[in-house]
């Protein structure tokens, strides 16, 4: 009889512990997402239309403007604050949104560079920073976003060359880099993107010939590289 009570007590203790641990873990996850977005809010110096007025610690992050959460785990999976006339910089804490699948901050006035911590967004499928004032070199971490299908950095001031590691994004369908200041040669590794459909690189400053490997992509539908410094035909 004593053994029965002992095991009943042990079972009750373990169940209570696991429930408490689970609740604590969930709270931590939600808090992590909230803290990341509040860090972004703190870097926004102008919100003329007050779109982000309800981004407050006193309300649920899943109810904030531009934020969508996964119903099962209550984690932030999408952030869409496009076309809101926002001015500010992108904080490294944004990389803590580990469940993020969709990120669209296009058509605003964000400036500065892209923090390396964005490489932690391993679930990301859509990344759109187009039509902002972002600059700096196009960092090699972009290639670590293996699940990315849509990448737009158009109409910014990015410099440097396209990193060969971009070939690691095997799911990429859209690559939109037009209206920047990218230089160097176009890496032949782009030809290793088996799902690429659209490549837009017009109004940049790359030099040399177009790699022939690009035209071996069977899924390719459109390539626009006009108004560049490219010379000659496709290279072998």
Name the residue among 88, 115, 99 with its Cα closest to residue 62: 99
pLDDT tens-place string over residues 68-81 = 998 777 899 999 99
Do the domain assignments include residue 75?
Answer: yes
pLDDT-derived band of residue 139, with 50, 70 and 90 as boundaries? confident
Do the domain assignments include residue 98?
Answer: yes
Name the residue among 35, 30, 65 with its Cα closest to residue 47: 65
Q: What is the pTM of this model?
A: 0.84
Q: How many domains does the chain have?
A: 1
Full domain range(s) for residue 193: 2-230
pLDDT tens-place string over residues 153-181 = 999 999 999 988 998 999 999 999 999 99
The CATH number for 154's domain is 3.80.10.10
Spatial separation of the C-alpha atoms in residues 152 and 138, rounded to whole Å:
12
Do the domain assignments include residue 172?
Answer: yes
The DSSP-derived string for 187-206 is PGGGGG-TT--EEE--SS--
Do the domain assignments include residue 235?
Answer: no
**Cβ contact 72:65 at 8 Å:** no
pLDDT-derived band of residue 22, with 50, 70 and 90 as boundaries? very low
Burial zone of 209 (CB within 10 Å; 0-12 exposed, 13-18 middle, 19+ buried): middle
Do the domain assignments include residue 236?
Answer: no
Do the domain assignments include residue 162?
Answer: yes
pLDDT tens-place string over residues 204-229 = 988 888 888 998 999 999 998 887 87
Do the domain assignments include residue 33?
Answer: yes
pLDDT-derived band of residue 232, with 50, 70 and 90 as boundaries? low
**Cβ contact 150:126 at 8 Å:** yes
Do the domain assignments include residue 56?
Answer: yes
**Cβ contact 109:83 at 8 Å:** no
């Amino acid at each position: 009889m004593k053994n029965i009570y002992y095991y009943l007590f042990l079972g009750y203790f373990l169940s209570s512990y696991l429930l408490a641990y689970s609740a604590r873990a969930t709270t931590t996850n939600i808090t992590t997402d909230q803290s990341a977005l509040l860090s972004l809010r703190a870097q926004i110096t102008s919100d003329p239309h007050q779109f982000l007025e309800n981004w407050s610690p006193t309300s649920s992050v899943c109810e904030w403007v531009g934020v969508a959460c996964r119903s099962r785990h209550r984690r932030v999976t999408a952030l869409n604050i496009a076309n809101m006339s926002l001015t500010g910089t992108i904080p490294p804490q944004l990389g803590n949104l580990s469940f993020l699948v969709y990120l669209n901050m296009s058509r605003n006035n964000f400036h500065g560079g892209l923090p390396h911590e964005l490489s932690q967004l391993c679930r990301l499928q859509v990344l759109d920073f187009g039509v902002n004032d972002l600059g700096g070199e196009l960092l090699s971490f972009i290639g670590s976003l293996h699940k990315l299908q849509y990448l737009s950095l158009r109409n910014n001031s990015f410099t440097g060359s396209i990193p060969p590691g971009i070939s690691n994004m095997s799911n990429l369908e859209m690559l939109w880099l037009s209206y920047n200041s990218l230089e160097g040669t176009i890496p032949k590794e782009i030809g290793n993107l088996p799902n690429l459909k659209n490549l837009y690189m017009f109004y940049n400053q790359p030099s040399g010939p177009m790699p022939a490997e690009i035209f071996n992509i069977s899924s390719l539908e459109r390539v626009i590289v006009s108004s560049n410094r490219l010379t000659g035909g496709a290279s072998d």
